[in-house]
Structure 1
Amino acid sequence: MECGIFHTPYMRPGRTDKETFEYSMMLAKAADSFGYRDFMVGEHGMQAWENIPNPELLIVAAAQVTERMRFAPMAHIVPLHNPSSLAVQVGYTSQLLQDRYFLGVGAGSWENEAVLRGQPGDLSEAHPRLLEGLEVMDKVWRRQPFTHEGQFYKAAWLEAGIEAGSVDHHDAFDLKDGEEYHALADHSPYGGADGLEIAITGLSAGSPSHVLAGQRGWTPVSFYGGSTLLRSQWDVYSAAVEARGDVPDGSRFKVARDVFVAKTDEEAKEQAKNGALGHAWSKYLMPVYKKYRILQGFIDDADVKVDINDVDLDYLADHVWLCGSPETVMAKIERTFEQTGFRYGQIAVNTHDALDDPAPWVESLRLFATEVVANIEVAGSKSPVHEFA
């Protein structure tokens, strides 16, 4: 099985951008040394707990201090961007990192992010803006003349550029043979528009994002919310893949989970509850997982059923988080395979703010890579853990 990092990140409000950046560099170096395949960086400009507005700045820096790990913005919220500018930014980063970069895209789920950009707070424009924005980005990457006038965006790629002297504030001038005034920069992705791996995130049951992934051959990424939710995403993804004449591959699914591993169940539970993971859930994630109806899915899967309002840290450690010794965490993962009906290829560990005491968190990352996923077989996965051993 593959292991990855989903670096939202869940930093405590009040952390400075510099603190978050330096903590991110430390985590990236550690994950790379342990054999993590992907380091995916969230994009949020308004959330105090998820405070990275420009993933590429972090990605390019982290790539310089790591050797093998791949990086991705996960995800660029396309509706919040000018798609032409985003296409150039993504292509440029892709060329810098080459095959260590892939692109994550999403429609967005935070109302305040949309309102800041002058869009409806009900997110009614999010999905149509995503589709139209991706259309413009693909046109930019192909570097062929086009004119786009859509519902939300206007863009054009001129075959020969703007004629000399045609702009009012420019004086007319003549070009001499050999001068390259019209030369256009090539910021298409490394390997071309068709060579860029694209991944898309989904939160909801039967997610339209996963339908899109199946239709276009993209990589599906899920926030695990119980077996029923993930199974519904797998079903719509599979149907879309089959509709275009291909065979669905469970190993392509990346599933984000909260993980904490220690030598014993008791040690893992106490460190998780009293550390970064427990703090984030107590202060932030409990209402988020209730809002998006994710928490109920874990309760439905658990042997012990409780009212959603009675969920506490002990219940989270036992039934929601992948928390425990390596053997216990392996058993929890295998159970999710049985409950969902397919074996997914990667678990991406959600990161949390252990800046004040990083050693237990880093050790958990090591144990998860070397003693958990390295011992779980998923056909088609490409875990680099064995290469590092």
Structure 2
Amino acid sequence: KGSDTLKLAGEKGYLPMSLNLNPAYVSSHWESVEIGAAKSGRTPDRGQWRMVREVFVADTDEEAMKLSVGSHMGRMMREYFLPLLAQFGFLEYLKVDPNAADSDVTPEYCAKHNWIVGSPRTVVEKIEKIYDEVGGFGQLLVFGFDYLENPKAWRHSLELLSKEVLPKVQHLKPKMAKLAAE
């Protein structure tokens, strides 16, 4: 907590971005932006805050889980990201419950708690939930994956995201912060 890079972003007016970690942890990031902004008298804008997430939309929740956890997203987590975070003792940043064992943090766990995976309806609900948990953000950046073996699935996911999900979350607009001097 207390990200120095996000404090710097706030101080200098850079675009803040939070990576694909547990939303409960990420919710502390905006405070860092505000602390940095106050140092230089800036007013931070949550509308500029970028949120990076693993996103996979399919026609059903079951299909989305299969095509995410059981494909390239799951493989990246299993073979690269989870071992990397474990090596540095950072698995805690993916946990919903800090008392959960590190061995509980699997691609399935991440899909359930951190990723935005499911049918269009489920994905809308998950975006709204994350938005509420972190107090609002401006842009959702989709973590891209190489679906070389099944490019139709990835294209279909992006099509569902653009046509069935994004129109239903347009109402999510963050409020401006108070002026740093107030």
Taking structure 1 as the reference length, the TM-score comes to: 0.41
How big is each residue's C-alpha offset from its partner over 1:328-374, in whole Å with a ceiling of 9 and x where there is no partner?
1121222222322x211111111112112211011112222222233
Letter in 1 for 2:146: D
CA distance in 2, matches of 1:296, 1:356: 32
Out of 304, 310, 325, the position equivalent to 2:119 is: 325
Contact 2:53 2:115 in 1 (8 A): yes
Is residue 39 of structure 2 the alignment partner of residue 243 of structure 1? yes
CA distance in 1, matches of 2:89, 2:28: 14
CA distance in 2, matches of 1:320, 1:313: 10
SS in 2 for 1:224: coil
Is residue 141 of structure 2 the alignment partner of residue 314 of structure 1? no
How big is each residue's C-alpha offset from its partner over 1:366-385, in whole Å with a ceiling of 9 and x where there is no partner?
222222233212327xxxxx
CA distance in 2, matches of 1:370, 1:294: 36
CA distance in 1, matches of 2:126, 2:37: 28
Q: How does 1:267-282 map to 2 (within 5 A)?
A: 267-282=63-78
Is residue 16 of structure 2 the alignment partner of residue 230 of structure 1? no
Cα gap change, 1:356/1:309 in structure 2, threshold over 3 Å: closer, same or farther?
same
Structure with greater helix percent = 2
Deviation of 1:318 (Å): 1.7
Q: How does 1:89-100 map to 2 (within 5 A)?
A: none
Aligned length: 174
Cα gap change, 1:332/1:297 in structure 2, threshold over 3 Å: closer, same or farther?
farther
Deviation of 1:247 (Å): 2.4
2:155 alignment partner in structure 1: 362
Contact 1:224 1:257 in 2 (8 A): yes
1:112 alignment partner in structure 2: none
CA distance in 1, matches of 2:163, 2:90: 29
Contact 2:19 2:53 in 1 (8 A): yes
Contact 2:59 2:120 in 1 (8 A): yes
SS in 2 for 1:352: coil
CA distance in 1, matches of 2:163, 2:63: 18
Cα gap change, 1:333/1:294 in structure 2, threshold over 3 Å: closer, same or farther?
farther
Q: How does 1:1-389 map to 2 (within 5 A)?
A: 205-291=1-87, 294-300=90-96, 306-340=100-134, 342-376=135-169, 377-379=171-173
Identity %: 31
Backbone CA RMSD of aligned residues? 2.4
Taking structure 2 as the reference length, the TM-score comes to: 0.83
Cα gap change, 1:219/1:284 in structure 2, threshold over 3 Å: closer, same or farther?
same
SS in 1 for 2:143: strand
Deviation of 1:269 (Å): 0.7
SS in 2 for 1:353: coil
How big is each residue's C-alpha offset from its partner over 1:142-201, in whole Å with a ceiling of 9 and x where there is no partner?
xxxxxxxxxxxxxxxxxxxxxxxxxxxxxxxxxxxxxxxxxxxxxxxxxxxxxxxxxxxx
CA distance in 1, matches of 2:5, 2:106: 31
CA distance in 2, matches of 1:306, 1:338: 23
Gaps of 5+ in 2: 175-182
Letter in 1 for 2:133: Q
Gaps of 5+ in 1: 1-204, 381-389
- Asked which structure has the greater CA Rg, the reply is 1
Deviation of 1:209 (Å): 1.3
SS in 2 for 1:283: helix
CA distance in 2, matches of 1:293, 1:349: 25
SS in 1 for 2:147: coil
Contact 1:273 1:314 in 2 (8 A): yes
Contact 1:258 1:349 in 2 (8 A): yes
Higher RCO by CA contacts (8 Å cutoff, separation 6 or greater): 2
